[in-house]
Amino acid sequence: MTAVELDGIWKRFPGVIANAGASLTVAPGSVHAVLGENGAGKTTLMNVLAGVYRPDEGTVRLDGVEQSFSKPADAIAAGVGMVYQEFRLIPTFTVTENVALGSAPAVLSKSSMEKQVGELAERFGLHTEPGREVWQLSMGERQRVEILKALWRNAQVLILDEPTAVLTPNEAAELGRITATMAAEGRSIIFISHKLDEVKTFCDEATVLRGGKTVASSLSVDDLDAGRMAELMVGEATAVSQRRVRTTVVGERVLDVDNIIVHDIHGRAVVNDVSLVVGRGEIVGIAGVAGNGQRPLADAIAGLRQASTGTVSVTHTDITGMDARTRNSHGLAYVPEDRIGVGLAPRMNAIDNAIMRNYRTLGDGPLIDFGQAESRAASLIERYNIKVGRVDQPLAGLSGGNLQRLLVGRELDDEPVVLIAAQPTRGLDVQGVKAIQDILVEQATDGVGILLISEDLEELFALSDRLLVMHEGAVVGEFDPDTATRQEVGAAMAGAHASEGSAH
C-alpha cells in the first residue's frame, strides 16, 4: 500500500516542459525527500499533487485511489496539505483564524476554537500562541501555523517546500521532531530540499528529479552521500563547492566599517555596533539566519539606508555622509539581495539596466548616447555570457542566473575596489551558482575586497578568507573557515555566543 503515487506526470508550460513523465511513490508513515536542482520540476510536481496544476498526462493516486483535482480545495479535501516557501498566511488574522480559515464552524467561538487549536498544536509539539496575530510571529512560528493549518484539515500527506530555508538550526531540528511525530501517526511527509545533511537526518527515503524526470526513486537515505546526490541532481559527478585556494596576499584595507548602528523606525537597533574590515583581495563572509541585520548592514554600507552612528570608509576615504551614487563613484559596488526590484528593473530592458549605474558618463548633458549604451550592454552580455533574447526587451523573462550575471557584471563594470554581494547565489541552479562564485573568486584574485553575505554555509566556507557571524544585529563571532566547524558557526548563528554575553 502506498500513501502517494504519482505516475508518469507530464506538465508543459509555454516554452517549458516542467515535468516529463515524473513519478513519485511515498509510503505511509514516512518522511520522503524530493531532491533536485532549481528547475528540476520539484515544485511543479508538488503543485500537481496539491491540486494547483492539472497534469497534462499521468495519474495521481492516494492510498491506491485515483484522484482528479481541479483546484487546491479538492486536494485539501482529499487529505493533501502543502506548506509553501512563501507562507500563505493572513498577517492580520490570528493564528486560530488562519488555521480555521476554510473549515470554520458557522458561528465562531473565539475561546473554544483557540482551545482546539492549542490542543492540536500540543499534540504534535508545535509551540504556538493561538490568539496572536500572525504578523507578530517569527518565521519559524509562521511555519508551524502553516503545518497546523494542514493538520487542522486532517492532512494525511503533508508537503513541505524547502522548509528549513527560513529557520535557525534549532528551529530546523525542532521541525525534524515534528515531522517524526506526524510520521509516527501514520501520516506521510514530503520534504523538498537540496541540503544533504537535513535529508539524511530528517528523511527516510529520497526521490531525485532532474530535468522534469525522476532519476532515482525511493532511495534509502543511508545510501546517499554528497557525491552521489550531486551526481544524481546534476547528472555528472561535479564536486560540491571546492574550498578556494587563495592566490593573492591580502593587502591594505579597502573597506573600513566602524561602529555602525542602524535603527529601525521603532528605534530598535537592527544593526548593533558592527565594525569590520575587508582587505584588498580578501573575501569576508557574513553568515547568519535571515533577518539578523545582514540586510540593513549591507544597505547602510551601500548608502541605501541611513546609519545612526558609525563611519564607513573605502580606501581610507570616509564615505559615511555620501549618497549611494557618490559611494559608487568612490569604488563601492553593491549586489543587493533583491536582484529584481533593488538590483534590476525587470520591466526595463537589458541596455537600460546595464547603464543604470553609469549612464551619466554616456553622452553629453541631459542626453544619453544610446549607441554607446548599447555597446556597453553588449560587452557585458558577452563578457559574462548572459543569455538575453534581445537587448531592447524587458528583462522580466530572463532566468535568475542570467539576471544575476547581468547585475554582477554591471556592478563590476566600473572596476570597483569593494564589492558588497548579498545572497548572490540564492535561488540559482548549480551552474548559475558556479558562474557567480567563479566571478567572485576572479575578482578577489584581481584585488577587489569582497563582503559576501550569504545564508549558504557551504558557500561561505568555500569562498571566505574570514567568516563573521551576525546575530540580532551584532557580529557575534569570527571564524577561520579552514579550521572552524559547521557546528561552531551554526551555534553562533543561533545566538549561542550572544547569550554568553561576550558580544554585546
Partner 1 sequence: MIIAGILGDLQVLLTDTGMWVNLLEFGILLYLAALGEVIAEKAGVLNLGVEGMMAVGALTGYWAGIQTGSPWAAAVIAALAVAIFAMVHGVVSVVMGADQVVSGLALTILGLGLAAFLGTDLVSQPSGAKFSDLSLGALGDIPGVGPTLFSMDGMGWVALALGFITWFVLNRTRVGLNLRAVGESAATADAAGTPVVATRLVAVAIGGAFAGLAGAYLTLKVTPSWNESIVGGLGWIAVALVIFGAWRPGRVLIGALLFGGLIAVGPRFQTRRCNGDEITDCITTEINPIVVSMLPYALTIAVLVLLSIRSRNRPSVAPAAIGQAYRREER
Residue 150 corresponds to which amino acid?
A
Distance CA 343, CA 365 (A): 25
Q: Any bridge partners for residue 19, and if so which?
A: 11
Distance CA 81, CA 415 (A): 50
Binding marks (x or -) toward partner 1, 4..33, rule CB under 8 A? ---------x--------------------
Scan for cell 494542514, then name that residue: 150
Stretch that binds partner 1, among 68-76, 392-400, 417-425, 451-459 (CB under 8 A): 68-76
Distance of closest approach, residue 75 Cβ to partner 1, in angstroms: 10
Distance of closest approach, residue 50 Cβ to partner 1, in angstroms: 9
Q: Which of 57, 66, 68, 73: binder of partner 1 (CB under 8 A)?
A: 73
Q: Is 265 in the site for partner 1 (CB under 8 A)?
A: yes
Distance of closest approach, residue 104 Cβ to partner 1, in angstroms: 4
Distance of closest approach, residue 386 Cβ to partner 1, in angstroms: 26
Element (H, E) at 421: strand 418-422
Stretch that binds partner 1, among 104-112, 209-217, 221-229, 494-502 (CB under 8 A): 104-112
Element (H, E) at 354: helix 350-354
Element (H, E) at 353: helix 350-354
Distance of closest approach, residue 404 Cβ to partner 1, in angstroms: 24
Distance CA 407, CA 411 (A): 6
Stretch that binds partner 1, among 82-90, 217-225, 316-324, 388-396 (CB under 8 A): 82-90
Binding marks (x or -) toward partner 1, 437..466, rule CB under 8 A? ------------------------------
**DSSP states of 296-344 as a string?**
HHHHHHHTSS--SEEEEEETTEE-TT--HHHHHHTTEEEE-S-TBTTTB
Q: Considering beta carbons, is residue 103 or 445 the nearer one to partner 1?
A: 103
Q: Any bridge partners for residue 467, and if so which?
A: 285, 479
Q: Is 100 in the site for partner 1 (CB under 8 A)?
A: yes
Hey, is 430 helix, strand or coil?
Answer: helix
Distance of closest approach, residue 454 Cβ to partner 1, in angstroms: 27
Q: Considering beta carbons, is residue 47 or 188 the nearer one to partner 1?
A: 47
Q: Which of 135, 223, 325, 485: binder of partner 1 (CB under 8 A)?
A: 135
Stretch that binds partner 1, among 105-113, 328-336, 431-439, 474-482 (CB under 8 A): 105-113
Scan for cell 515531522, then name that residue: 179
Distance of closest approach, residue 146 Cβ to partner 1, in angstroms: 11
Q: Considering beta carbons, is residue 137 or 203 the nearer one to partner 1?
A: 137
Q: Is 72 in the site for partner 1 (CB under 8 A)?
A: yes
Distance CA 97, CA 110 (A): 9
**Can you state the angle between helices 110-123 and 139-152, rounded to 10 degrees?**
100
Distance CA 446, CA 209 (A): 38
Q: Is 396 in the site for partner 1 (CB under 8 A)?
A: no
Residues 6+ apart with CB under 8 A from 33: 191, 192, 193, 199, 202, 203, 205, 206, 207, 221
Q: Is 251 in the site for partner 1 (CB under 8 A)?
A: no
| Interface ranges with partner 1 (CB under 8 A) | 13, 52-53, 71-73, 76-77, 88-93, 97, 100-108, 135, 264-266
